[in-house]
Amino acid sequence: FVHINNLKLICRAHQLVHEGYKFMFDEKLVTVWSAPNYCYRCGNIASIMVFQNTSTREPKLFRAVPDSERLMDEQVLCVHGGLSPDIKTLDQIRTIERNQEIPHKGAFCDLVWSDPEDVDSWAVSPRGAGWLFGAKVTNERLCDYVCDLLLEESNVQPVSTPVTVCGDIHGQFYDLCELFRTGGPVPDTNYIFMGDFVDRGYYSLETFTYLLVLKAKWPDRITLLRGNHESRQITQVYGFYDECQTKYGNANAWRYCTKVFDMLTVAA
């Protein structure tokens, strides 16, 4: 297969490697594993594989983040009320003319009047201003946007070097953050993630959502491949479905994510 298709190397994930990576078959194939201390008990090292070009490759190793350092360092949006159906990006908030009395309707009004509620999407607010909004609003928009991006990708998505290739993550969100500290942030570093973003770890929803946000913001700097765990059947067995049920009280977030699963490409 390597000879017929003029390839130098096949890079894959899927199997736990305690050393983080493993070359096989006269170094024609390498397994990259990016979930350190897999399932919080295996004690393994993780790795990413950096390709400066097709001939130059460098594995970078990293260990699991200690429990005492598992802190969020990403941005937080603070707002008095909530969200608005008229606002999809922070840039739209930045352009609001705030030197005025709060209007009775519109985006400015919604930001100070809206409330989160256990509703399917948007609902009329009993306050008489703003909206009631549910978890579907925050999740569905992101998933739909990324699906539109993925529609434009091919089954074998071309990616230029330099690129950093990553293996399984399996819901280990804080170790994903350590991966980016090791390999460099997006968009400074170009990434390929080879699937298995969810299941087994405690933070599959946060892990996959974060990767989707990066894909939405820098679609040409991060490529997401489908793994065997990006599946409705598998995620109902190995934890992701139950995690969504526990965190949201329903399966809506799981449904939105599985819609994205169906659009992920299979190779790069």
Model pLDDT, residue 159 = 95
Model pLDDT, residue 73 = 53
Model pLDDT, residue 91 = 82
Strands 29-32 and 21-24: antiparallel
Alpha helices in 29-125 (DSSP H): 90-94, 107-113
User: Over its length of 268 residues, how does the chain's per-residue pLDDT go in tens digits?
Assistant: 888 998 899 999 999 999 999 999 999 999 999 999 999 899 999 999 999 988 889 999 999 988 777 665 556 778 898 889 898 777 889 899 989 999 999 999 999 999 888 777 788 899 999 988 876 676 777 888 899 999 999 999 999 999 999 999 999 999 999 999 999 999 999 999 999 999 999 999 999 999 999 999 999 999 999 999 999 999 999 999 999 999 888 898 899 999 999 999 999 9
Q: What are phi and psi of 197, to 5 degrees?
A: -80, -25
Best CA proximity match to 190, nearest among 225, 166, 162: 162
Give residue 205's Cα distance to chain centre: 8
Model pLDDT, residue 74 = 55
Model pLDDT, residue 202 = 93
Single-letter amino acid, residue 184: G
CA gap 192, 266 in Å, rounded: 11
| Residue 80 annotated among the catalytic residues of the structure | no
Q: pTM for the full model?
A: 0.78
CA gap 183, 31 in Å, rounded: 17
Q: Which of 3, 104, 170, 229 is catalytic?
A: 229
Write the DSSP string, 162-190.
SEEEE-B-TT-HHHHHHHHHHH--TTTS-
